[in-house]
Amino acid sequence: MDQHADPPTRDNNTTTESTDPPQRFTRKEILTLISVASVNFGSMICYSILGPFFPTEAVKKGASQTVVGLIFGCYAVSNLISSLVLGKYIVQIGAKFMLIAGLFVSSCCTIIFGFLDRAPAGPIFISLCFVVRSLDAVGFGAATMSAFAITAKIFPNNVATVLGILEIFAGLGLILGPPLGGWLYQTFGYNVPFLFLGCLMLIMVPFNIYVLPSIEAVPSKDSFFRLLTHVKTILVCYVIFTLSAGVGFLDATLSLFAINRFGLSNGYVGLIMLGLPLVYILASPLMGYFTDKYPVCGIAATIGFCLLGPAPFLHIQSQLWLLVVMLGLIGFSLAMSVIPTFPELISCAYEIGFEEGLSTLGMVSGLYEAVWCTGTFYGPIVGGIIVQHLSFEWAAVVQGGLAFLGVSISGCSV
């Protein structure tokens, strides 16, 4: 029997085992959970704060809808590149140092972003947005990728369950970011949301220096390219891509659509954007136990995106309540799909002979972040172009089509 499994040995002829108390987390595991939870929360609240008001502010500064999508998209490109590089060298750099340094860079960039409204409108403002947003992405990618790898290293036997628990804090960041950002912007102006959250992230740096355990590991000679030779890996990567593309599309386009269609203020738009992360945070812990729901989730996401506008060919009048309900449905599909993909990628790596250890986990985390960022790059840019030349409704249909294609591939290949 496996001597490394967490549960007690299942012997039907022994009754004394069943009375043993359940195994508790060790001090190292508890400190890791606290540290990664703080990173998840801080990173996601800073990421999601822009949604309710930045597109409107950027348009005032001379940016088109396409440029706004590019500003959101450049975050993903920088995150993609940094994830591949840092994931390969996580052992040499050190997982703890990478997480703390990434957190520090991201917090400083968030504070700097709060002063960009003082830049001249036009090319200067847009260029500064690209530069600061890209640097922020490098820090964000370093922190989240190392957090994934550390979690998988400390909890090798129940990665999905622990990730489901930790996604509560990522969901809290997504929930609090839009309404908090919208309220702070509406009450105090452009600067305060970024200054407040940037300083909150800075406080987390010394906290994580103290609580996060150090992890020693040996570098591996394996590469991303070998991991991508596995067909199942490519399939899981496509599922990750469709999920992140949908999230990126909504971040860049939903606020302007809600303001123009329903005449809402930035504060109310922030509340509407709660629909997706609220359902996500409630469903994530339970979904940590399920790892084979891709087809069902893809269909749910397809329905959600097609009714979000709703799709023009359905001839359904756009309603605010329908928008909120569909955001909740998309959030539920995300909860069922996001949690299983990371442990599934780990299984793919081990299936093709990767060595167990932090080096492999770092590469898997880097690949996961890179694919996720590819989707968040595609979503805002392509979605922004479609919105500008057609409409939000048709752009949402395209996102639903991506999810439906994922259903078809999963049904044929898994």
Residues 159 and 258 both lie in one domain: no
Whether residue 160 sits in one domain with residue 123? yes
Residue that is last in its domain, among 217, 248, 271: 217
Shared domain check, 226 and 213: no
CATH number at residue 201: 1.20.1250.20
**Do 327 and 383 lie in a common domain?**
yes
pLDDT tier for residue 413 given thresholds of 50, 70 and 90: very low
Q: Is residue 17 part of a domain?
A: no
Is 271 within the bounds of a domain? yes
Please check whether residues 277 and 384 belong to one and the same domain.
yes
**How many residues belong to the chain?**
414
Task: Note the pTM of the prediction, 2 decimals.
Answer: 0.69
Question: pLDDT value at position 132?
Answer: 92
pLDDT at 21: 42
Boundary residue ending a domain (199, 217, 235): 217
More confidently predicted of 395 and 408: 395
Instruction: Give the pLDDT band of residue 391 (cuts 50, 70, 90).
Output: confident
Question: Cα 327 to chain center, whole Å?
Answer: 16
Region 207-219 average pLDDT:
73
* Domain termination residue (choose one: 194, 217, 240): 217
Are residues 249 and 387 located together in one domain of the fold?
Answer: yes
Kindly report, residue by residue over 308-340, the tens digit of the pLDDT.
Answer: 778 788 778 777 788 888 888 888 877 777 777
Give the mean model confidence (pLDDT) for residues 332-355: 78
Print the SS3 string covering 42-88: HHHHHHHCCCCCHHHHHHHCCCCHHHHHHHHHHHHHHHHHHHHHHHH
Segments forming the whole domain that contains residue 364: 219-413
Under a CB-based contact definition with an 8 Å cutoff, are residues 185 and 52 in contact? Answer: yes
Residue 8: inside a domain: no
In a domain, 21, yes or no: no
Q: What local confidence, expressed as pLDDT, does residue 52 receive? A: 72
Q: Could you tell me if residue 310 is inside a domain?
A: yes
Same domain, 111 and 127: yes
Q: Are residues 171 and 239 in the same domain?
A: no
Report pLDDT for 131. 92
Q: What is the mean pLDDT of residues 126-137?
A: 90
Question: How do residues 248-305 score in pLDDT, each as one tens digit?
Answer: 788 777 877 878 777 777 667 767 777 777 777 777 666 655 544 444 455 777 787 8
Does residue 10 sit within a domain? no
Confidence (pLDDT) at 163: 73
- Of the segments 6-15, 44-53, 281-290, which one has the largest average pLDDT value? 44-53
Neighbour-count burial of 412, counting CB atoms closer than 10 A to its CB (0-12 exposed, 13-18 middle, 19+ buried): exposed
In this structure, is residue 11 part of a structural domain?
no
* 12 domain residue, yes or no: no
Same domain, 129 and 273: no
Whole-number percent of the chain with pLDDT over 90: 3
Same domain, 54 and 194: yes
Residues 251 and 297 in one domain: yes
Q: How many domains does the chain have?
A: 2
Is pLDDT above 60 for 22? no
Residues 109 and 50 in one domain: yes
